[in-house]
Amino acid sequence: MPHKVKEEIKSFKDLGLCDELVEACDSLGWKTPTKIQVEAVPHALEGKDLIAHAQTGSGKTGAFALPILNALLDFHSKQGYKSAPIFFALVLSPTRELAIQIASQFEALGSGIGLKCAVLVGGENIMQQQISLGKRPQIIVASPGRLMDHLNNTKGFSLHELKYLVLDEADKLLSADFEKALNDIFNVIPRDRRTYLFSASMTRNVKKLQRACLRNPVLIESSECCTVDTLKQQLCLMPSKYKDCYLVYILTEMSGYACMVFTRTCYATRLLSRILQNLNIRAIPISGQMTQQMRIGALNKFKSRECSVLVCTDVASRGLDIPAVDMVINYDIPQDPRDYIHRVGRTARAGRSGVAISLVNQYEAQWYLLIEEFIGKKLPKYDPQEEEVKLLMERVEESKRLSLMKLKETGGAKKRRGGDEDDEDIERYLGVKGKPSKFGKRE
């Protein structure tokens, strides 16, 4: 049956999906397909490879999960449940958190059809992962390094029957960071497969794309530099010495908002969280320096709204789906405009509204000009009364002095005792103290 033209697609049924999946979307409360789902799913159902530029929050996980599940169900109905290949699809993700999230969307969509999904990511127990592979899951969501670990060391595990490969955040996966692991993976999976590349920003480097061995892929362009219309983006210019005050001012003005504050360094996440906590703002840091257990703990505190401010590095900018984020603040404006897109994409997801405010001091103007050029529009100013902001100066400075002192003390204690008191403080706060993860390493 020829597929409907895009304008005619109003429902999941119109996309050409089977009834089980239409029902699954309905039970998740997905009423109509999102733009990327409308654009990607019909091509995928025709058996095409895809390169999709899809912004975060656009429903891109559904856009690749639905056709894969449709193909799996097709396989079941034509050849019987038992003859369907195990390890039917592999989804690679550059971060652990994103992998966990992708798997939970697969599981939600596949809950009515007995779908099994294994997550193979670093920082988690290898044996448990081996057990989950032993259950013969149809879907594997993995980070490249840990997947290779299993391919080399887990008896009986191979991907020679794989039918689908997805690279989520493909631009990151095709970068030098993952080159070795990805080449190793490409060498052990069948060439005869479908391949989907999904990313909010996409490399134009043809050589890199060729490595993914796509076959006549359909290119789905939702302009690389777009942000959603429901996102209100603003710029706040200030002298550098008032930056902390402006941050506290905005968080106080917008109190009640769930907010992510992005900084450049792990140290800054700790310092800023302490400064804010001293001022009775419920902030929690998350960075690559924390153990996996602490990171999940911090995310959960934020998701449950126990903490209203998540102070993070770019570890949290890619792919994390935290539905209730109302505001993103760039405390440090990113130097790569693509990071800006990823960060602000944490809010205004799936049709909701959101605010993104970027704090820019006299030394950072060049970076925001790059961003404006990239997104093709001028950011309007967020311009509070400077006098009102300055009223906060004394309290913020005092809190900063105390926080710096504390971090210096705990840093000194770390050297003396070989432990990290600041980590211990965070662990106590998260309630994970005393339960160190065996594989929880610091990156």
Q: Does 57 engage in binding with ligand AMP (CB under 6 A)?
A: yes
Distance, CA of 16 to CA of 39 (rounded, Å): 12
How distant is the alpha carbon of residue 408 from its chain centre? 32
Site string for ligand AMP, 338-377 (x = CB under 6 A): -----------xx---------------------------
Task: Name the minimum Å distance from CB 60 to ligand AMP.
Answer: 4
Query: Contact region for ligand AMP (CB under 6 A) — 50-58, 250-258, 309-317, 380-388?
Result: 50-58
Give me 162's structure tokens. Answer: 């794989």
Q: Does 382 engage in binding with ligand AMP (CB under 6 A)?
A: no
Interface with ligand AMP: number of residues (CB under 6 A): 15
Going by the DSSP 8-state scheme, the letter that residue 111 receives in this structure is G
Task: Name the minimum Å distance from CB 198 to ligand AMP.
Answer: 9
Q: Does 59 engage in binding with ligand AMP (CB under 6 A)?
A: yes
- HSE at residue 288, side-chain half, CA atoms within 13 A, is 13
Total Cβ atoms within 10 A of residue 8: 9
Distance, CA of 16 to CA of 9 (rounded, Å): 9
- Give, to the nearest 10 degrees, the angle between helix 60-79 and helix 19-27: 140
Of 9, 21, 44, 58, the residue at the interface with ligand AMP (CB under 6 A) is 58
What three-state secondary structure class fits 89?
strand
Q: Where are the beta strands (DSSP E) in 149-293?
A: 164-168, 194-199, 218-220, 231-237, 259-262, 283-286
Q: Does 144 engage in binding with ligand AMP (CB under 6 A)?
A: no
Q: Does 95 engage in binding with ligand AMP (CB under 6 A)?
A: no
Distance, CA of 114 to CA of 100 (rounded, Å): 18
Nearby residues of 405 by Cβ (< 8 Å), 6 or more positions away: none
Lateral strand order in the sheet of 164-168:
117-120, 139-142, 89-92, 164-168, 194-199, 50-53, 218-220
Q: Does 321 engage in binding with ligand AMP (CB under 6 A)?
A: yes
Q: Does 42 engage in binding with ligand AMP (CB under 6 A)?
A: no
Task: Name the minimum Å distance from CB 287 to ligand AMP.
Answer: 21
Site string for ligand AMP, 12-31 (x = CB under 6 A): ------------------x-
Query: Contact region for ligand AMP (CB under 6 A) — 57-65, 177-185, 239-247, 250-258?
Result: 57-65
Site string for ligand AMP, 197-226 (x = CB under 6 A): ------------------------------
Task: Name the minimum Å distance from CB 77 to ligand AMP.
Answer: 24
Distance, CA of 303 to CA of 344 (rounded, Å): 17
Residues that bind ligand AMP (CB under 6 A): 30, 33-34, 37, 56-62, 321, 323, 349-350
